[in-house]
Amino acid sequence: MEILLSSELWMALLALTALEIVLGVDNLVFISIAVSRLAPEQRPRARRIGLGFACITRILLLLSLAYLARMDTPLFVVLDNAISVRDLVLIAGGLFLLVKGTLEIHDSVEGRSEDQDIDTRPSAVFGWVIVQIAVIDIVFSLDSVITAVGMVNYIPVMVAAIVIAVAVMIFASNPVGDFIEAHPSLKILALAFLILVGVALVADGLEYHIPRGYLYFAMAFSGSVEALNIAAGARRRARSGKQK
């Protein structure tokens, strides 16, 4: 009971929850992009399932701290870089994001027919989208859990922070996804950000760390510029409507 009254514990929970939400932004963007191929009525359910997988994956990794520690054990050396299981997971996840982002940008630029956008076998497409989300959840969860372990030593606090952060993301997932879908240029920007994250993950796997602050700054700056473009476009449409 005394530990619940500890101000240090509550500060740690607050800081870790905020950090988990920030680290989950790229996961949320990927889920929003992945579910865009589904029928509109399926998307909210897919987002909830995807984020639920993220929560379960992070908690399971957190409870497997001994295995997580062994993931940094070198398996072999490539160009003087010791490659571990964690590095292989990061490289594979990064390559997956690069391919996924590139293909989605190509489809968005070239255009897809309605039949290509929403498959005639919705159950098969839904299952494939969930598989993609589950795979990438594992990759994004690694950084999240390793950060949590480095910040706090009390496992219940880490679990609570993860659950709260995922709950916030579930609440925000529908508005974020709908907003991205409503603005094609913003969707391209989100896909470009996924490619950027993919490059960072591959670099991490090869022991060339790119500070995440740079990525988030680039995302925030680009998003701000795009928000101004959207606002300017809305004002132009409003003025042209009044003139008519």
pLDDT tens-digit readout, 139-186: 777 766 766 665 666 778 878 888 888 888 888 877 877 777 777 777
- Is residue 200 predicted with pLDDT exceeding 80? yes
Q: Which of 158, 209, 214, 177 has the alpha carbon at shortest distance from 30?
A: 177
The predicted-structure confidence for 60-109, as pLDDT tens digits, reads as follows 877 776 566 566 777 787 777 788 887 887 888 788 888 888 887 887 77
Question: Does the global pTM surpass 0.85?
Answer: no
Of residues 199 and 19, more confidence is placed in 199
pLDDT, residue 2, reads 52
Query: What's the pLDDT score for residue 115?
Result: 46
Average pLDDT on 21-41 reads: 78
Average pLDDT over residues 21-29: 74
Residue 1 has pLDDT above 60, yes or no: no
Is the pLDDT score of 49 beyond 70? yes
User: Quick one: what percent of the chain has pLDDT higher than 90?
Assistant: 0
pLDDT computed for residue 143 by the predictor? 67
Q: What is the residue-wise DSSP string for 2-68?
A: GGGG-HHHHHHHHHHHHHHHHHTHHHHHHHHHHGGGS-TTTHHHHHHHHHHHHHHHHHHHHTTHHHH
| Long-range contact set of residues 234-243: C-beta below 8 Å, sequence gap at least 24 | none
Compute the mean pLDDT over every residue in the chain, rounded to the nearest whole number: 76
